[in-house]
C-alpha cells in the first residue's frame, strides 16, 4: 500500500514537471502548421501561424524551421507579443520565391516590426537575387528589390549564426531598434551584384556586430543617420565596398551618428576600407566619436577615406558644401596594402572642416611606390608611426 502511494506521488511529480517544462518553452514546428521541406510549396502561411502561436504564448516560445528547403514569400512578424522571449530556430534553409516580382513590391522579404526579446538562430536564408541582378545589368525597367531580413522599432534582438545569401538588395537591416546583437553571421553575394549591402544600421542604439564574414557587391556594413553606441568587432569584408559611415547628409533635417567603434577588421580586395561619406549639400547631421582600430587592409582601393563631396550624377548639390560636421575620429593600428597611391584621403567640407582626427600607428603600402595621404579642410594630430606621413 505504502509503495503504491509513493509510486502515485512520483507519477504526479513527473507529470507536474513535464507540465512546467513544456509551459516554459513551447515549440512550434512549422511543419505542424503544414509547411513542406520541398522548396516548392508555399510555406508562408505556416511560418506566420507558427509565429502567431509563439507571439501569443504567455511563456517563452520557439518557432522551429527544421532541415530542408522552405519556400516563403513576403512576411511580416508583427509585435508587440505576449511572449517576452521568442526564439526562431532555423535548421534548414528559407528560400525566396523564384520570381523576384513577388518580393520587389514589398521592398522587404522578412520584416520584424515592434518586437521585443526575439532571437534568430540558424540556418540559411536565400534571397535568390540572381534574376533581379541580371535584369538590372540588362538596364531594363527593373524594381529595386527587397531587403532579405529587417528589424524595425524593436528591442533586445539577437541574430546568431545565420547565413544570408544572394539577397535581392540589402541582406540585413536594423532600423529604429535598441539593443541588437548580431553574432557570427555569414553574408554572401557575388562581388558584382548591385546594392547587396551586408548589414545596414540606422536610427538605432546599442547595436553590436561581432564575428561576421561578409562578401557582397556593395557595403559590407553601412551606418545611417541616428546610429549611436555601435560596436563592430572581428569582421572580415571582401569583396564589396567596405565599412561605411554614410552616406549621410542627404536630407537637411537629419540625426547624427555618435559613438561608433570598429575594431579588428580585415578587408580583402574591397573598394574602401574605413569610410565616412556625406553628401555635398547643407544638412544638420554630424559624425562624432568614432574609433577605428586594428584593421588589416589587403589590396584595398581606399583604405582610409573621408569623402564629403558625394553627389551622384552631380544633381541636387553642385558647388555646395556638406553641412555634416565630422569630429573626434581616431584611426589606430591600421596596416596593410593599398591598391591606389592615395591610401589616406581626408576630403572634408570647406564650410565644416573635419576636426579632431587622430592618427596612431598607421602603415599602408602601395606596391613598390610610396603611398600618399591627401587632406582638404581636415584638422587633427598624428602620433607614433604614420606611413604615409600625415597631411593633417
Ligand X SMILES: *[C@@H]1O[C@H](CO)[C@@H](O)[C@H](O)[C@H]1NC(C)=O
Nearest distance, CB of residue 230 and ligand X, angstroms: 6
Of 208-247, binders to ligand X (CB under 6 A) are 229-231
Q: Which residue has the cell 520541398?
A: 38
C-alpha to C-alpha distance for 224 and 201, rounded to whole angstroms = 6
Nearer to ligand X, 25 or 259 (CB): 259
C-alpha to C-alpha distance for 287 and 259, rounded to whole angstroms = 9
Nearest distance, CB of residue 156 and ligand X, angstroms: 15
**What nine digits make up the cell of 115?**
518586437
Nearest distance, CB of residue 227 and ligand X, angstroms: 10
Q: Which residue has the cell 582600430?
A: 293
Which of 164, 160, 75 has the alpha carbon at shortest distance from 112? 75
Nearer to ligand X, 230 or 324 (CB): 230
**What nine digits make up the cell of 36?**
513542406
Q: Is 264 in the site for ligand X (CB under 6 A)?
A: no
Nearest distance, CB of residue 208 and ligand X, angstroms: 7
Nearest distance, CB of residue 199 and ligand X, angstroms: 15
Q: Measure CA 148 to chain center.
A: 11
Nearer to ligand X, 89 or 210 (CB): 210
Name every residue whose Cβ is closer than 8 Å to that of residue 87 and which is 6 or more positions away in sequence.
Answer: 60, 61, 62, 63, 118, 119, 121
Of 152-181, binders to ligand X (CB under 6 A) are none
Give yes or no for a contact between 229 and 259, defined as CB atoms under 8 angstroms apart. Answer: yes
Nearer to ligand X, 176 or 282 (CB): 176
Is 290 exposed, middle or buried (CB count within 10 Å of its CB: 0-12, 13-18, 19+)? buried
What is the end-to-end Cα distance of the chain in Å, rounded? 91
CB atoms within 10 A of CB 193: 23
Nearest distance, CB of residue 231 and ligand X, angstroms: 4
**How many residues contact ligand X, by CB under 6 A?**
5
CB atoms within 10 A of CB 351: 13
Nearer to ligand X, 54 or 230 (CB): 230
- Bond from prior residue into 388 cis (ω within 30 degrees of 0): yes
Nearer to ligand X, 299 or 327 (CB): 327
C-alpha to C-alpha distance for 210 and 360, rounded to whole angstroms = 24
Q: Is 259 in the site for ligand X (CB under 6 A)?
A: yes
Annotated active-site positions, please?
218, 241
**Count of residues for the chain?**
392
* Coil vs helix vs strand at 24: helix
Nearest distance, CB of residue 254 and ligand X, angstroms: 20
Nearer to ligand X, 44 or 227 (CB): 227
C-alpha to C-alpha distance for 223 and 247, rounded to whole angstroms = 8
Phi/psi at 17 (nearest 5 deg)?
-60, -45
Q: Is 327 in the site for ligand X (CB under 6 A)?
A: no
Residues engaged in binding ligand X (CB under 6 A):
229-231, 259, 261
Amino acid at each position: 500500500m505504502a509503495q503504491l502511494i509513493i509510486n502515485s506521488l512520483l507519477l504526479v511529480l513527473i507529470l507536474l514537471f513535464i507540465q512546467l517544462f513544456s509551459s516554459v518553452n513551447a515549440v512550434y514546428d512549422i511543419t505542424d502548421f503544414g509547411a513542406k521541406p520541398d522548396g516548392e510549396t508555399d510555406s508562408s502561411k505556416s511560418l506566420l501561424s507558427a509565429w502567431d502561436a509563439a507571439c501569443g504564448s504567455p511563456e517563452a516560445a520557439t518557432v522551429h524551421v527544421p532541415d530542408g528547403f522552405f519556400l516563403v514569400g513576403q512576411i511580416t512578424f508583427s509585435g508587440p507579443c505576449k511572449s517576452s522571449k521568442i526564439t526562431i530556430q532555423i535548421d534548414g534553409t528559407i528560400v525566396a520565391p523564384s520570381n523576384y516580382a513577388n518580393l520587389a513590391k514589398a521592398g522587404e522579404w522578412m520584416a520584424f516590426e515592434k518586437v521585443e526579446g526575439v532571437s534568430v538562430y540558424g540556418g540559411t536564408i536565400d534571397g535568390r537575387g540572381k534574376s533581379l541582378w541580371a535584369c538590372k545589368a540588362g538596364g531594363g525597367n527593373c524594381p529595386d528589390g527587397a531587403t532579405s531580413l529587417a528589424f524595425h522599432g524593436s528591442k533586445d534582438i539577437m541574430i546568431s549564426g545565420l547565413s544570408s545569401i544572394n539577397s535581392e538588395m540589402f541582406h540585413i537591416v536594423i532600423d529604429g531598434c535598441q539593443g541588437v546583437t548580431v553574432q557570427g553571421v555569414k553574408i554572401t553575394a557575388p562581388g558584382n551584384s548591385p546594392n547587396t549591402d551586408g548589414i545596414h544600421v540606422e536610427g538605432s542604439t546599442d547595436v553590436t556586430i561581432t564575428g561576421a564574414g561578409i562578401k557582397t557587391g556593395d557595403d559590407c556594413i553601412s551606418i545611417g543617420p541616428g546610429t549611436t553606441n555601435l560596436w563592430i568587432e572581428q569582421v572580415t569584408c571582401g569583396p564589396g565596398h567596405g565599412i561605411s559611415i554614410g552616406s549621410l547628409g542627404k536630407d537637411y533635417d537629419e540625426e547624427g551618428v555618435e559613438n561608433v567603434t570598429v575594431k579588428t577588421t580585415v578587408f580583402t580586395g574591397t573598394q574602401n576600407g574605413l569610410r565616412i561619406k556625406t553628401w555635398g549639400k547643407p544638412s544638420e547631421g554630424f559624425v562624432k566619436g568614432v574609433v577605428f582600430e586594428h584593421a588589416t587592409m589587403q589590396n584595398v582601393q581606399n583604405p582610409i577615406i573621408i569623402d564629403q563631396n558625394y553627389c551622384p550624377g552631380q544633381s541636387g548639390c553642385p558647388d555646395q558644401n556638406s553641412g555634416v560636421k565630422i569630429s573626434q575620429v581616431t584611426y589606430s593600428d591600421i596596416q596593410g596594402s593599398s591598391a591606389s597611391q592615395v591610401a589616406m584621403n581626408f576630403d572634408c567640407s570647406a564650410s565644416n572642416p573635419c576636426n579632431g582626427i587622430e592618427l596612431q600607428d598607421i602603415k599602408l603600402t602601395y606596391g613598390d611606390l610610396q603611398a600618399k595621404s591627401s587632406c582638404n579642410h581636415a584638422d587633427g594630430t598624428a602620433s607614433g608611426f604614420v606611413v604615409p606621413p600625415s597631411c593633417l
